[in-house]
Amino acid sequence: MITQREDQAARQRASQVLIDSRLAIRPQELESIEVADFGLSELETTGAQILTLVNTGRIVVKLLVLFPAQTLPEHTHVRVGDYPGKEETLRCERGVLYLYVPGQPTPAPACQPPAQRRATYTVWHEVILRPGEQITLAPNTPHWFQGGPQGALVWSLTTTAFDGKDVFTDPEVVRQTVVRD
C-alpha cells in the first residue's frame, strides 16, 4: 500500500525520466503510468513504474522505469491453461539494469535485494544490460532485476501478458497496488 502522495511523486518522477529520454511519449500516455509497489509498501526499494504502450492480447510493449536501486521482485511468467507462459525481451534504453536469472551464481553480484526480503530471491546469475543491450527470457524463467546507480529505463516486449498470474517467490507480494488517502 502506498499513499496518494507517494503514488503521485513516483508518477511525476517516472514521467520526467521518460521526458528526458526524448522518446515520443504523449502527455496522455504519461498520465497512465502505473506505480507498482507489489503490496510491500517499500516503493523506494521494491517497485516499478510501468507505462503500457501496446497490449493487443498477442503482444505487449511496456516501458519500465526503475529508480536507483529499485528492485522488481523475483517472479516467473507461468503457464496459464494452454498458454505456455509469457516470453519477455528486456532491452535497456537508459541507465543500467542488473538482471538475475538461473545459471551459475555470480560470486560478487553488483546488487542485493532489500535485506528483509533476501531469503525470497533464489536466482543469482547476473546479466548487466546497458543502453542498446537486450535479452530474451523464455516462459517459466525465474528472474528479478534492479535499477543501477542512475536507475534504468527498460523496454519490456512480450507475448500475451497475464500479469496477475505471475508467480512471485516472495509470498507477501501482491501484484495490484493499493493507493490510500
Residue showing cell 510493449: 61
pLDDT score of 36: 97
**91, 103, 73, 88: which is closest to 23 by C-alpha?**
91
User: Where are the domains positioned within the chain?
Assistant: 2-180
What pLDDT sits at residue 161? 83
Please report where in the chains the cell 496459464 appears, as a residue: 80
Q: What pLDDT does 19 receive?
A: 97
Q: DSSP for 20-75, please give it.
A: HHT----HHHHTTPEEE-TTSS-TTTB-EEEEEEEE-SSEEEEEEEE-TT-EEEEE
Count of Cβ atoms closer than 10 Å to residue 139 Cβ: 17
Give pLDDT, residue 176: 86
Measured between alpha carbons, how far is 78 from 32 in angstroms, rounded to an integer? 26
- According to CATH, the superfamily of the domain at 2-180 is Jelly Rolls (2.60.120.10)
Residue 169 pLDDT: 97
Torsions phi, psi for 116 (to 5 deg): -70, -10
For the chain, residues with pLDDT lower than 70 are none
Q: What confidence tens digit (pLDDT) does each residue in 60-96 have?
A: 999 999 999 999 999 999 999 999 999 999 999 999 9
Tell me, what's the pLDDT at 162?
84
Please tell me the predicted confidence (pLDDT) of residue 57.
Answer: 84
